[in-house]
Structure 1
Amino acid sequence: MCGRFLLDSDIEEIISTYRIFKKEIDSFDKGDYYPSQKAPIVLEKGERSITLAKWGFPYGSKKKLVINGRAETIMDKPMFKNAFYSGRCIIPANLFYEWKDEGNRKKIMHKISLQDSNLISLGGIYKLSIDENSNKQLIFVIITTEADKNMRSIHSRMPLIIKEDMVDIWLKDSTSIQVLKKILKDNKDNDLIIEKGEDEKHQQLKMF
């Protein structure tokens, strides 16, 4: 599961890392990002762009937010299917957080980053939505997979990390289903730095 991440890099670093041609934003708020907040995403519609999108797909009559989509079902579930085929994106982050259940209602926060890169490319999908004021906005979810061997002792799920050589392929509309399936299943052997943090209350969020 992925319910919080940190982005503290300058926009210039993101533009350089992802070879972005079109800026739809000039800046963003650095720091921790939570569900329902607007965060920078990288997408490709004709040209590589960076823009802001709200984290979470509304679900049900009470408009609960679904913030993650399972890799195992994301190509089939009605909520995600169209966005997966036509709206794949990357959510840049410096690290993400996960909480390990220690029992007795105690959860320990861990910070997870990459050893060989300042930025992590979290795989996600986005789509156009209408907000409560009838304004158009982009919304996104982060894809999760089974945890790899490094993460398994902390949590059974982890966000999909798009490896550097797969970024272009992930974003292109023309990428074949077979290749996309391979990317979804290849979320392992990531060189992670895992730092144990302080005891912190963990808010349970709905995940599909």
Structure 2
Amino acid sequence: MCGRFALTASPKEVDATFSLPDLEAFPPRYNIAPTQPILMVVAGEPREPGSNLPDRHSLLVRWGLIPTWVKDTREFPLLINARSETATEKASFRTAMRHRRALIPASGFYEWRQVGGKRTQAYWIRPKRGGVIAFAGLMETYAEPGGAEMDTGAILTTKASRDIAHIHDRMPVVIHQQDFSRWLDCRSQEPREVADLMRPMEPDFFEPIPVSDLVNKVANTGPRIQERVGAPEAPEPPKPERRKTSPATQDQMSLF
């Protein structure tokens, strides 16, 4: 799964990757957590004939998708991730997969290795070559009982690639730049026609960096949480007991 990620690229870098002429300035975010606003890119209205710009625009949505049919959000689980293998079958995600696919700009994500059900080590997982990447996302606009509307979203996940499978068995779906338009095209591309895009990344695309447990707290939002720390050391094996020697053998040389 993906429970924390970061977007530390500048607005200029994000615009260069996603072609977003309406993008507003924003600060770097090192520890984006569920229920917080996240940047999403969706298909917009077709542009004038002859325009070289894609029909996209950006918006901020709440991380945690709420389907339109939910009556009481207090009794509904927080849907921050959607399994790509079953998203078209689940009532919570089926409509968004058909009509509201999105891209989520990111610089990388965090994952925790677990042993015995307990988190033992946090990792900052980023592209080896740097730059901005795009998570596959889903968006829904939820109408609250009072009439107010709230845009919400989730990140699609898939099986982890070989380079990070030792940390966790799931990872966000990453869409390559050449596939942005096809993924966002919900007018002519049905979910089955973009299913090939929801696959693990190529091996060696990501670099997992062990980091401290500062990332565990939402209040920690500075670059320190991405600083490399030493990986957990394996416990030293017990030293063999020295055998007692008799006076007759004390003067003999030993290799141990």
Which TM-score band (shorter chain)?
0.7 to 0.9
Deviations 1:116-163 (A, max 9, x none): 341121111001112475321210000011111112100011110111
Instruction: Tell me the equivalent position of 2:7.
Output: 7
Return the structure number with greater relative CO, CA threshold 8 A, min gap 6: 1
Q: Residue 91 of structure 1: CA displacement? A: 0.8
Partner amino acid, structure 2, of 1:19? S
CA contact (8 A) 2:10 2:27 kept: no
| Partner SS state of residue 57, structure 1 | coil
2:117 & 2:190 partners in 1: Cα distance? 46
CA contact (8 A) 1:22 1:48 kept: no
Instruction: Tell me the equivalent position of 1:148.
Output: 161
Q: Residue 87 of structure 1: CA displacement? A: 0.5
Instruction: Tell me the equivalent position of 1:206.
Output: none
Query: Are the structure 2 counterparts of residues 36 and 103 from structure 1 closer, same or farther at C-alpha, using a change threshold of 3 Å?
Result: same
Q: Do structure 1's residue 52 and structure 2's residue 51 form an aligned pair?
A: no
CA contact (8 A) 1:107 1:202 kept: no
CA contact (8 A) 2:17 2:177 kept: no
- Select between 81-90 and 115-124 the one with higher mean Cα deviation: 115-124
| Residue among 128, 146, 151 paired with 2:141 | 128
Query: Are the structure 2 counterparts of residues 200 and 20 from structure 1 closer, same or farther at C-alpha, using a change threshold of 3 Å?
Result: closer
Query: Are the structure 2 counterparts of residues 37 and 164 from structure 1 closer, same or farther at C-alpha, using a change threshold of 3 Å?
Result: same
Query: Are the structure 2 counterparts of residues 181 and 160 from structure 1 closer, same or farther at C-alpha, using a change threshold of 3 Å?
Result: same
Partner amino acid, structure 1, of 2:61? A
Alignment of 1:104-123 (within 5 A): 105-123=118-136
Alignment of 1:1-208 (within 5 A): 1-23=1-23, 26-31=24-29, 32-46=31-45, 47-58=55-66, 62-103=75-116, 105-131=118-144, 134-173=147-186, 174-184=188-198, 186-190=199-203, 191-199=205-213
Query: Are the structure 2 counterparts of residues 176 and 28 from structure 1 closer, same or farther at C-alpha, using a change threshold of 3 Å?
Result: same
- Select between 143-152 and 186-195 the one with higher mean Cα deviation: 186-195
Structure 1 residue runs without a partner (length 5+): 204-208
| Partner SS state of residue 194, structure 2 | helix
1:137 & 1:87 partners in 2: Cα distance? 14
CA contact (8 A) 1:107 1:199 kept: no
Root mean square deviation, CA, Å = 2.2
Query: Are the structure 2 counterparts of residues 133 and 113 from structure 1 closer, same or farther at C-alpha, using a change threshold of 3 Å?
Result: farther
Structure 2 residue runs without a partner (length 5+): 46-54, 218-256
Q: Residue 199 of structure 1: CA displacement? A: 4.3
Q: Residue 29 of structure 1: CA displacement? A: 4.5
Query: Structure 2-normalised TM-score?
Result: 0.71
More strand by share: 1
Q: Percent identity?
A: 25
Query: Are the structure 2 counterparts of residues 115 and 66 from structure 1 closer, same or farther at C-alpha, using a change threshold of 3 Å?
Result: same
- Select between 107-116 and 194-203 the one with higher mean Cα deviation: 194-203
Query: Are the structure 2 counterparts of residues 78 and 107 from structure 1 closer, same or farther at C-alpha, using a change threshold of 3 Å?
Result: same
Query: Are the structure 2 counterparts of residues 18 and 101 from structure 1 closer, same or farther at C-alpha, using a change threshold of 3 Å?
Result: same
Select the structure of larger CA radius of gyration.
2
